[in-house]
Amino acid sequence: MTAAALTPSVVQKEYIHSTVTRGTPMRLVKYWFKVTKVTDADWIVTDTYFQSTGTIIEYNAVTLDSSTDGVQEGTVGLTYTHSGTKLTLSGGTTGTTYGYVVYSED
């Protein structure tokens, strides 16, 4: 099968609160997502599902296969391409992927 764009079944937006700031503060936003990964290198279009006007500064995900064994996407191949606004899930496991993306809003 060919890799394709995925539609998350869940997206939740969370503003990250700071109690102490030095220098120019950043407004941080975290988007949690759940998506079914079908093939290696499937991706999520970030501009479509994570409505932030900022820069991605962190992301992470884990994919659980049919036996609920997990693979950490972040250490095996979770990548973000700014020019294509693609968060690519290229870890070797297919199944249900849970993850998050953190933006510094402009």
Residue 96 domain flag = yes
3-class SS of residue 75: helix
Q: Which of 64-68, 95-99, 101-105 has the lowest mean pLDDT?
A: 64-68
Residue 93 domain flag = yes
Number of structural domains the chain divides into: 1
Between 73 and 32, residue with greater pLDDT:
32
Residue 53 domain flag = yes
Q: In what order do the strands lie in the sheet with 54-64?
A: 10-16, 27-37, 95-105, 54-64, 70-72
Residue 2 domain flag = no
Residue 70 domain flag = yes
Region 22-39: mean pLDDT is 93
Residue 81 domain flag = yes
- Nearest by Cα to 39 from 103, 99, 97, 101: 97
Whether 75 has a pLDDT exceeding 60, the answer reads: no
pLDDT band for position 71 (cuts 50, 70, 90):
confident
Q: What is the reported pTM?
A: 0.86
- Nearest by Cα to 64 from 33, 32, 102, 36: 36
Q: Note down the domain range covering 92.
A: 10-16+27-105
Region 63-71: mean pLDDT is 81
